[in-house]
Amino acid sequence: MNLTEAVKAAGVVGAGGAGFPTHVKLSAKAECFLVNAAECEPLIETDKYLCRTFPDRVVAAAVAVAGHLGAKRTVIALKGKYHAEITALEGAISRSGAQVELFRMKTFYPAGDEQTMVQQVTGRSVPERGLPLDVGCVVDNVGTLLNIQDALEGTPVTEKYLSVVGEVKEPILLKVPVGTALTACVAEARPNLADYALIVGGPMMGKTLTDRAAIEAAVVTKTTGNLIVLPKEHYLFRRAQLPMETIRHQTKSACIQCRMCTDLCPRYLIGHQIRPNLVMRNLWREGSIEDNEEYLRSFGDAANCCDCGVCEMFACPMGLSPRKVNGYIKGELRKRGIQVPRNMEPHAREFVDERKTPTDRLVARLGLSAYYGLHAHTCIPLEPETVFIPFQQHIGKPAVPVKAVGDPVSKGELLAQAAPDGLSANIHASIDGVVTEITPAGARLCRKEV
């Protein structure tokens, strides 16, 4: 079994949040293989822990993937302030004798965005709405690398490392079976609030959960890397709940055309055609534009938005929402069937390194300074009695169940097979137990009675 077959069999997907099936990404050749260890968003602790704890496995997996891709250059990119992690990785590289570079990035957001990282490491800008492979690169997250190493040893993806931060006694790291309830993870961190809300992921691009029923139903998936526990009235939840009509009226009345949303946009900095200030300028007349050519001229730039949130959470002095406007416009472009032309050879602007968003200042803007700089030091394993394992933890089609209610399963046994007619990924049992429920969304497993 070669590397891509082993990765496919193990159900490896992008662990950093996107969930793209890794066997598809690795079915290629590339000049450069990049390991993303920069932990894009503030307050996340997981990748740092993995680098400190498993540096030899990270390096071994990087070498294996680079060899498979035929890459001439293998780079682990992480923030230069990660001193303990750099020391651990340098030791692993030295022990292995591998030709692996460490690239030290400055502390800015979004350092872990793969297109930003590719430009920083190689000097090449990925084409608009393109992939790193378009410029000869493949990028994988640290967690994905460890899952690849496990796959090469015959172990499928059944567990997840994640951090729990925010309004808790202290930040913690957990190692849990896939399908563990998020409430169990939060309880282990001893929350300071009886009635809390959650951000699953980072504060900029994570999923917000405020409804108690939704929080109790949510589970850890292959892509879950962090939970932020916050009061329900926190600024980030108020922003997330703004309806589009309110945003439209705010934009019409308050946008001052200062260009800050454009000047600090990470995609604009690497040379993409994206000017949120012009989209905001034209929003007031959006509903009256019937001609598609005029609509494209006024709003086509929105197609290149990467949803990082710098424009609305940091850049805009008026507190407006260019990211949400861009998201709305992207939907309208699709409805109208408008194909936005792509620049296939962008070049970074000369001030690309001067207009990065400093992470500490971003954290202050987000109202999270009280939690910044607090680090998780130990990892706690959880062994829940019950898990609910979704059949879709990845981009593409959900996996197809191969077990029925009442079937016994062992940890690592195939639970649902990748859909045969499209992008998909295998799903495995994360505990020893019995299948007690199967729905279109997933399967519930309970441990065997002793």
* pLDDT tens digit sequence for 254-273: 999 999 999 999 999 999 99
* pLDDT tens digit sequence for 263-310: 999 999 999 999 999 999 999 999 999 999 999 999 999 999 999 999
- 384-449: in CATH 2.40.50: yes
CATH 3.40.50.11540 in the chain, residue ranges: 1-151
* pLDDT tens digit sequence for 209-219: 999 999 999 99
Would you state the pLDDT for residue 85? 97
Q: What is the mean pLDDT of residues 134-158?
A: 97
Would you state the pLDDT for residue 450? 40
Which CATH topology does 243-354 take? Fumarate Reductase Iron-sulfur Protein; Chain B, domain 2 (1.10.1060)
* pLDDT tens digit sequence for 336-393: 999 999 999 999 999 999 999 999 999 999 999 999 999 998 899 999 999 999 999 9
pLDDT > 90? residue 449: no
Lookup: tokens for 431: 């505990």
The dihedrals phi and psi of 148, each to the nearest 5 degrees, come to: -65, -45
- 1-151: in CATH 3.40.50.11540: yes
What number does CATH give the domain 157-233+366-383? Answer: 3.10.20
CATH 1.10.1060 in the chain, residue ranges: 243-354
Would you state the pLDDT for residue 98? 95
CATH 2.40.50 in the chain, residue ranges: 384-449
CATH 3.10.20 in the chain, residue ranges: 157-233+366-383
* pLDDT tens digit sequence for 381-424: 999 999 999 999 999 999 999 999 999 999 999 999 999 998 99
Polymer length of the chain: 450
